[in-house]
Structure 1
């Protein structure tokens, strides 16, 4: 047995079978080289990379530190978690990957061996030839997925042509599932060359430094001792350098949440981030899932060579029919009515299907004998927020007016008639341009639907049944009392 003593470190005892007379003359191996090699090996065999916690444990083993010393050098993870959860699973993983038992005291020796063994191999090219690899982050499950073949083809073309592709659409339409499916498909394709596929969910406004730091760590795990810059421009620069060095496809799901912040400075910082991602040189791509593209960013749409929006509509009829059939619904003829009512919205279709299955034994025909329109909690919450915080008084007025008129006698209201009736009924006079802007905004939020007459080319507007029901149930609370006369008395 040989005892190697390294200055300032605990002795490392090499078992007899690992001793070599010429080992002192071997070239030195750095920890960074070891992490790169083992990450490639793990990915090749397990289709994932080492987590940040695993790298922390590995670095401690590399430096012959006990867990108290490891914990003292970082504050992110609890000692019990590293010692009892992360470490045992890590040694098992490395044992499977390296082909021999790995324990903490042998880890450095075995990793150095691995680096020397694979230093001249084509491991990296093998990884790249198999596709873009595993997905970092936690995208939604796509094991059950309906339709969207055309949309997936379109998105693959768009991300090859543009740096940034915002996917917009109402809640439940399938933005998250579609982009997760895109990542899943690309991870298995050799034609789409990305070094990293990254999923980042955003549920609330966060400081830009936190989001950018998370993205940097997903692209390139950093040592706990490395401190990223605090200044906004500086940390964005670090991110862009990584995006330039590595070709990444990043999905920011729930992107609009970043612009709900009441802090104007925070919103301006995110505007700077997006502008720099569009302006500066790098080889990565971003998909931004959002209900509508934030108005704070309207000015960046001028970079037409770098950004384009993709509006997602409901499922096609056959895919939606298959979804409802798989949910246990019968009476195929009635399924078309359900699909039309909910405009192919995946979440809405699933919710109504569950209720029909539970209360009407899966019979769409029995359901239509007592027909009603359901609104999911997510859609209700979106409409509550939109009417209370987003829409102008005129936009709310137009919505309520359309709902009342459609409930009475029309399915579509022509723009000309709408213009005349709004001006005659609305308490505050509105110019034609103001009404047009209001309608454009309502269309942008997918709150009104438009149709052009094929002969006259005249445009008319309506509401989808779910939106109409929400308004008719809440109309008294959406506008001030006596805001306008009943449409029944409209001229």
Structure 2
């Protein structure tokens, strides 16, 4: 697997016929996991003790339990919790072991060295006996910032992506999670933080979530981030931007943090050039200055200023987020009441397993077609969500150069006549013979690279010849051909373009 900046990280869909409920998946994951998280164990222990004794564990008891779970000696527990070692060892621990033996393990003696083994078994049995209960989604005390819980309660698949991200965050200073609207970038990054908060083998001091879906002053953002790491310091923060950046980087140097900036590209959508320059300098310093933290950026595509930095061999890893794998997409559609596998596979192919796009078509099938895919496919059409159309409106209205726009129009018209992907050589011939546009081969390649980066075109390599060919998602193709706002082919842009097809 190529993890280079140019190729990014890309996961392809695979076909399967298995259908599992979210509850079955959670239980199987818990049973197959070599360890239960401390937070899950603490939740179960507190539930049992509250039922039996009408009280919850105290802070000193939690400190002892967590230390025993992590196989620490009492001096380490005391240093980390702030309580005296003798107080924890001689007073709190004996009473806690007796309490757990009486209520949680029902008479089986709990000792410090057996805590993890015994409680792991208790947690598994607890959820087997109470299948209606949900596993804790995350440890809210460990995550700084407001994690979007709604993204976690309806999470499907992505186990391979999560596995690789957990490896990558240990070796990279900055990772960009890029993909089209609705594909699940926010959900994936939120799930990553949630799982890390429950995983005692991951050693981050802080997991920080910050949504930046609208442009804000860098000074304000820096102040909020510093306050999340070290609360109650706002009165002592430096006044100037560069000093604030230095203060944040010092925190990232002294603490190992995983910082998620969700919706990162919004910070560069301001027309204020000074603000854009501030953020450019901020990112340059994050990439160049030594620290032991990782910054995760979710965005449709890196802003031009930051993309230029990634080409300068600085440490930004491009991680492409595609649609759900076919298993997960089938599970999603099944839970929505669509059970005809062939129809579901057709929808998955059309909408590239984009969960937001699939949710939209499901809602319309339920509302207008009585929930019947059979009736829907008799009158089949392609829907475009408002979010996806807004992205395309912005792209065609503001972002595309003439060559890029011509390529998109040509692909849409050609694929409407024949769905076979169009080879790079055929595309070159078409562009070179066109009277409407003049572009060198290097300019055409640059345009194709940008369109791929923006997830507007899809590339496929021939298995034998290895020649690259291009195609479009049906949603993008429909937008171009219908041109709902007249942004695809503005008047007089290509005076005789229609005659070339």
Q: TM-score, normalised by structure 2?
A: 0.70
Which residues in structure 2 correspond to 1:342-491 (within 5 Å)?
342-474=351-483, 476-481=486-491, 483-485=494-496, 489-490=499-500
What is the rounded CA distance, in whole Å, between the counterparts of 1:165 and 1:232 in structure 2? 24
Corresponding residue for 1:87?
none
2:288 to 279, 282, 298: 279
What is the rounded CA distance, in whole Å, between the counterparts of 1:292 and 1:182 in structure 2? 20
Q: Unpaired segments of 5 or more residues in structure 2?
A: 1-40, 44-55, 62-77, 89-111, 121-137
**Greater shift after overlay, 210-219 or 237-246?**
237-246
Do residues 191 (structure 1) and 155 (structure 2) align?
Answer: no
User: Alpha-carbon deviation of 1:410?
Assistant: 4.1
Alignment root-mean-square deviation, CA: 3.0
Corresponding residue for 2:35?
none
Corresponding residue for 1:327?
336
Q: Counterpart of 2:483 in 1: which secondary structure?
A: helix
**Bigger relative contact order, structure 1 or 2 (CA pairs below 8 A, ≥6 apart):** 2
Corresponding residue for 2:146?
138
User: Alpha-carbon deviation of 1:490?
Assistant: 3.1
Q: Counterpart of 1:350 in 2: which secondary structure?
A: helix
What is the rounded CA distance, in whole Å, between the counterparts of 1:431 and 1:214 in structure 2? 47
Matched residue pairs, number? 382
1:258 to 267, 280, 291: 267
What is the rounded CA distance, in whole Å, between the counterparts of 1:252 and 1:288 in structure 2? 5
1:120 to 84, 101, 108: 84
CA contact (8 A) 1:244 1:281 kept: yes
1:79-132, Cα deviation, whole Å (9 max, x unpaired): xxxxxxxxxxxxxxx998699xxxxxxxxxxxxxx99x9443499xx9xx9998
What is the rounded CA distance, in whole Å, between the counterparts of 1:386 and 1:442 in structure 2? 10
CA contact (8 A) 1:45 1:97 kept: no
Give the direction of change, closer, same or farther, for the CA distance of 1:286–1:266 in structure 2 (3 Å limit). Answer: same
CA contact (8 A) 2:162 2:192 kept: yes
Q: Unpaired segments of 5 or more residues in structure 1?
A: 1-43, 47-93, 100-113
1:368-397, Cα deviation, whole Å (9 max, x unpaired): 110000111110111111111111122112
Give the direction of change, closer, same or farther, for the CA distance of 1:203–1:305 in structure 2 (3 Å limit). Answer: closer
What is the rounded CA distance, in whole Å, between the counterparts of 2:84 and 2:391 in structure 1? 55
1:162-215, Cα deviation, whole Å (9 max, x unpaired): 111111111101000000000000001111011211110012221111111110
CA contact (8 A) 2:396 2:487 kept: no
What is the rounded CA distance, in whole Å, between the counterparts of 2:495 and 2:159 in structure 1? 46
CA contact (8 A) 2:329 2:353 kept: yes
Corresponding residue for 1:169?
179
Corresponding residue for 1:68?
none
User: Alpha-carbon deviation of 1:423?
Assistant: 2.9
Corresponding residue for 2:105?
none
User: Alpha-carbon deviation of 1:455?
Assistant: 2.2
What is the rounded CA distance, in whole Å, between the counterparts of 1:153 and 1:187 in structure 2? 15
Q: Which has the larger radius of gyration?
A: 1
Q: Counterpart of 2:181 in 1: which secondary structure?
A: coil
Give the direction of change, closer, same or farther, for the CA distance of 1:415–1:367 in structure 2 (3 Å limit). Answer: same
**Greater shift after overlay, 279-288 or 321-330?**
279-288
Which residues in structure 2 correspond to 1:290-301 (within 5 Å)?
290-301=299-310
What is the rounded CA distance, in whole Å, between the counterparts of 1:352 and 1:231 in structure 2? 49
1:208 to 177, 197, 218: 218
Corresponding residue for 2:346?
337
CA contact (8 A) 1:387 1:478 kept: yes
What is the rounded CA distance, in whole Å, between the counterparts of 1:168 and 1:438 in structure 2? 18
Corresponding residue for 1:222?
232
**Greater shift after overlay, 318-327 or 426-435?**
426-435
What is the rounded CA distance, in whole Å, between the counterparts of 1:234 and 1:317 in structure 2? 48
**Greater shift after overlay, 153-162 or 401-410?**
401-410
User: Alpha-carbon deviation of 1:156?
Assistant: 0.4
User: Alpha-carbon deviation of 1:403?
Assistant: 0.9
User: Alpha-carbon deviation of 1:417?
Assistant: 1.8
CA contact (8 A) 2:397 2:487 kept: no
Q: Counterpart of 2:259 in 1: which secondary structure?
A: strand
Give the direction of change, closer, same or farther, for the CA distance of 1:144–1:409 in structure 2 (3 Å limit). Answer: closer
